[in-house]
C-alpha cells in the first residue's frame, strides 16, 4: 500500500496546536430539513470558523510547526481567497509578514479581508498567469516559506481536525454516522477529514462534492489516477474550482473516499438560501456543495445519519442577494 | 435585600439538564469589526441554538424539571414565536403535547416552524385579545401546564446558561470582559445571563438593548420600578416588544444590570447586514439589538472587551432582503 502523507495521529497533534486558536464549530441540525428528507443531517459549520472557512486550521497548524522549528520568518501563499485569509490570520498571530497571491477576479470580500488581516496582496490573472510560478519566485526572492493550499502534510492534518472535531461531537451525541459529504477542490479538507472519520467510524462512507464540469475528483477516483479538468465551464463555486486534486491528497482520497458528486450552480444558490433560512448560516457557493448534492438527489439520505461539512461563508452581498431570490 | 428568583447555582443545575440537548454555541469575533471599532467584541451566537434562539434553553430546563417531578403531561405557552419553538421542541423531546398561542402577525417562519415541531398553534389578535387569559383558560380546560416566556425561575435559570457558557468560554480564552450587552424584552435572558456573568466577572457592567419607544427596561431601571410601554410605535424587533419586564426578572435586572440602550429599526437592519457579512450569521431584528447599540454609539467599546449576545435568527426572507439593501 502507498504510504499516505498523514495518519490519524498527525490530526490529533494538529488539534492540540490549534486548540484555543480555532473556533470549535458546532454541529447543527434542522428538524424541518430532517423531516423533509426523512433522514438525520448534521452540519459542521466551518463557515463560522475564524476567517470564515476551515482554512485557518491548516494554515495555523503549518505556521505553528514552522515557528516551533524556528523556520518561520515570512510566508507566501496563493489562494482563491479562503486559504489567503487563513494564512494571513495565522501569520498575524505569529507576527510574521504574509504575501498572498490572489486571482484578480476573486470575490471582493476575500481580497478586502485578506488585506485587513495584514497581508500584502498580489493580484494575478487566472487565465494568463501561473500562481505557483509567481509564488515560487516571490519565495525565492524574499526568502519566504511557501504555504501550499492543500498539497502539504501539515495543511492536510490541520484540515483533518474538522473531521476529528465532528467525530468527537457525533460520539458525544451517541451517533454513528452512515456517511459524510463535503466540498472537494484540491482535496485537503476531505482527505484529512476522511482520515479522521474512518478512524472513528470504520463503516462510514465519505463523499466529495464538486461543481459540474469540475468533476475531476469523481473521475480521478473512478479511474484510479489524477485527471485534470479541461475546458471547465465557469462556476460560482470559486473556492473549489482547482484544476485537479493534489499529489499528496489523492492517495488518501483513493483510500478513504467512496466517490464524489457533482452539483450545478442553480442547486448551489437554492442551498445557500436554505442554509440562511433553516440553519441561520451564511455559506458561500463552494461551501455548501455537500448539501446541494443531497438536494439534487445525488446522495440519498433517507433513514440515514449524514454529516455534511459546510466549509466556508465568504460570499459577497451580491451573491447572497442572488441566492435569496431563489 | 430582595430575595432573587434564582442564583448562580440554579444556572449550574440548568446547564447540567440541558447538556447534550442544547447546542454549545461558539463565541465568534470579526477582526474587521474589532479594527473598525478599536475594541474587542465577542459574539455569543445563540441564533444557531436549537430552534434558532436561546429560548430552547429555558424551555428545556423547565420541562425537564416538570418531567423529573412527574408533573409533565401537556404544556401551553404564549409567545411571539421564539419561546413557542423552544417549548415545542422541548415538548416533542419529552413526548408531551404542546399548545402555543401566537400573535396572528408573527413572522411566518416562526409559525411554520412551531407547527413543524409538532405543536398545535392557536393564533390571537395582539390588539384585541389577551394572550395570558387565553393561556390560562386553555391550561385550566385541558389540564396543561403553562410555561411562561420569562417570568419563571426555571426559565430564567435556563436562559442564564447563555451567560454561564459565555463566561466559561471567555475564561478559556483568558479574557475578562469589561462589559456585556444583549436584547431585553421580558428580561429572562438578561437577568439570567447577568447573574452568571457577575458571578464570574464581578467588575463587568451588563446592559440591555431594546427598540426605541419600547424602552421600558431603561426607564424601569432608571426609576427603580417597573414601567410599561405606552402607545409604543411599531418595531421590526418582534421578539422583544413586550409591554414591560417581568415581576421576577426585574429585581434581578435592578441588582445586576447597569442600564439599557435604545436602538431604531434602521440601525437594526444595518446590523443584520453586518452580521451576515462579517460573522456569516443570520440574525433576526430583535436578536442583534446589542450590536446595534454599539453601532449607534449608545455603548462605547473602544479599548474594551465586550460580550454581545446575538439571541435569535428567525427572520423571514423578506426581512433579510430588507437588511441586505442597507
Question: A237: which residues sit within 8 A by CB, 6+ positions away?
Answer: A183, A210, A211, A214, A265, A268, A285, A286, A289
Residues of A in contact with B23 (CB under 8 A): 26-28
A69-73, A160-164, B11-15, B41-45: which range is least confident on average? A69-73
Residue B273: per-residue pLDDT: 96
Q: How many CB atoms lie within 10 A of CB A140?
A: 11
Question: B314: which residues sit within 8 A by CB, 6+ positions away?
Answer: A280, B52, B53, B81, B82, B85, B107, B109, B110, B113, B239, B284
Q: Are the Cβ atoms of B31 and A273 closer than 8 angstroms?
A: no
Instruction: Please give the biggest Cα pair distance in chain A.
Output: 57
Strand partners, A98: A75
Residue A206: per-residue pLDDT: 98
Residue A230: per-residue pLDDT: 87
**CA A141 to CA A120: how far, in whole Å?**
15
Could you list the beta-strand ranges (E) of B59-128: 75-78, 98-103, 120-124
**CA B95 to CA A133: how far, in whole Å?**
62
To the question of pTM greater than 0.90 for the whole model, the response is: yes
Q: Residue written as cell 431604531? A: B264
Helices (H), chain A: 8-18, 31-37, 55-68, 82-94, 108-116, 131-142, 153-172, 188-200, 216-223, 249-256, 265-274, 289-295, 317-324
Question: B105: burial class by Cβ within 10 Å (0-12, 13-18, 19+)?
Answer: middle
Residue B1: per-residue pLDDT: 65
A-B interface: how many C-beta pairs under 8 angstroms? Answer: 80
Task: Give the strand order in the sheet containing B98-103.
Answer: B120-124, B98-103, B75-78, B145-146
The per-residue pLDDT for range B213-253, each reduced to its tens digit, is: 999 999 999 999 999 998 888 999 989 998 899 999 999 99
| Helices A216-223 and A249-256: angle between axes, nearest 10 degrees | 70
**CA B78 to CA B84: how far, in whole Å?**
7
Nearest to A300 by CA among A124, A61, A39, A93: A39
**CA B86 to CA B54: how far, in whole Å?**
8
Contact A147, A4 (CB under 8 A): no
Contact A271, A212 (CB under 8 A): no
Pick from A113, A277, A282: which is nearest to B317 by CB? A277
Phi and psi of B267, rounded to 5°? -65, -35
- Interchain CB contact of B113 with A (< 8 Å): yes
- Interchain CB contact of B283 with A (< 8 Å): yes
**CA A28 to CA A279: how far, in whole Å?**
7
Looking at CA atoms only, how far is residue B153 from chain A in angstroms?
28
CATH 3.40.50.1100 holds for B8-53+153-324: yes
Phi and psi of B136, rounded to 5°? -65, -40
Q: Residue written as cell 465568534? A: B28
- Interchain CB contact of A272 with B (< 8 Å): no
- Please give the CATH number for the structural domain made up of A55-146: 3.40.50.1100
Q: What is the mean pLDDT of each run of 10 residues along chain A (326 residues)?
A: 92 97 96 95 98 98 96 92 95 96 91 93 92 92 94 98 98 97 98 98 98 95 94 90 94 98 97 97 98 98 98 94 88
Q: Is A238 helix (H, G, I), strand (E, B) or coil?
A: helix
- Interchain CB contact of B48 with A (< 8 Å): yes
Question: B37: which residues sit within 8 A by CB, 6+ positions away?
Answer: B294, B301, B302
Residues of A in contact with B89 (CB under 8 A): 31
Contact B169, B27 (CB under 8 A): yes
**CA B36 to CA A113: how far, in whole Å?**
13
- Interchain CB contact of B206 with A (< 8 Å): no
Residues of A in contact with B173 (CB under 8 A): 20
Element (H, E) at B61: helix B55-68
Q: Are the Cβ atoms of A324 and B313 closer than 8 angstroms?
A: no
Are B8-53+153-324 and B55-146 equal in CATH topology? yes
Residue A80: per-residue pLDDT: 82
The per-residue pLDDT for range B157-180, each reduced to its tens digit, is: 999 999 999 999 999 999 999 999
Residue B2: per-residue pLDDT: 77
C-alpha cell at A91: 501569520
Extents of the domains making up chain B: 8-53+153-324, 55-146
- Interchain CB contact of B273 with A (< 8 Å): yes
Amino acid at each position: 500500500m502507498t504510504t499516505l502523507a498523514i495518519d490519524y495521529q498527525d490530526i490529533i497533534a494538529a488539534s492540540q496546536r490549534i486548540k484555543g486558536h480555532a473556533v470549535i464549530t458546532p454541529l447543527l441540525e434542522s428538524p424541518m430539513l430532517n423531516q423533509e428528507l426523512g433522514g438525520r443531517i448534521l452540519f459542521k459549520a466551518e463557515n463560522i470558523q475564524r476567517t470564515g472557512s476551515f482554512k485557518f486550521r491548516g494554515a495555523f497548524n503549518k505556521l505553528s510547526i514552522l515557528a516551533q522549528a524556528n523556520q518561520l520568518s515570512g510566508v507566501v501563499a496563493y489562494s482563491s481567497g479562503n486559504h489567503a485569509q487563513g494564512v494571513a490570520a495565522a501569520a498575524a498571530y505569529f507576527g510574521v509578514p504574509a504575501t498572498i497571491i490572489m486571482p484578480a477576479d476573486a470575490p471582493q470580500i476575500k481580497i478586502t479581508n485578506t488585506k485587513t488581516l495584514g497581508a500584502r496582496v498580489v493580484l494575478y490573472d487566472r487565465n494568463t498567469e501561473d500562481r505557483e510560478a509567481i509564488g515560487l519566485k516571490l519565495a525565492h526572492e524574499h526568502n519566504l516559506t511557501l504555504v501550499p493550499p492543500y498539497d502539504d502534510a501539515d495543511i492536510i492534518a490541520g484540515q483533518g481536525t474538522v473531521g476529528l472535531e465532528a467525530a468527537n461531537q457525533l460520539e458525544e451525541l451517541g451517533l454513528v454516522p452512515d456517511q459524510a459529504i463535503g466540498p472537494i477542490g484540491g482535496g485537503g479538507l476531505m482527505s484529512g477529514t476522511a482520515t479522521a472519520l474512518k478512524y472513528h467510524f470504520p463503516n462510514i462512507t465519505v463523499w466529495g462534492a464538486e461543481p459540474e464540469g469540475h468533476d475531476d475528483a469523481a473521475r480521478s477516483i473512478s479511474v484510479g489516477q489524477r485527471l485534470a479538468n479541461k475546458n471547465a465551464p465557469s462556476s460560482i463555486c470559486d473556492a473549489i474550482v482547482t484544476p485537479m486534486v493534489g499529489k499528496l491528497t489523492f492517495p488518501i482520497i483513493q483510500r478513504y473516499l467512496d466517490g464524489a458528486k457533482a452539483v450545478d450552480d442553480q442547486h448551489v444558490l437554492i442551498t445557500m438560501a436554505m442554509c440562511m433560512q433553516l440553519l441561520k448560516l451564511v455559506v458561500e457557493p463552494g461551501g455548501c456543495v455537500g448539501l446541494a448534492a443531497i438536494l439534487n438527489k445525488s446522495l440519498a439520505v433517507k433513514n440515514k445519519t449524514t454529516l455534511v461539512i459546510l466549509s466556508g461563508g465568504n460570499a459577497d452581498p451580491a451573491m447572497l442577494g442572488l441566492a435569496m431570490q431563489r
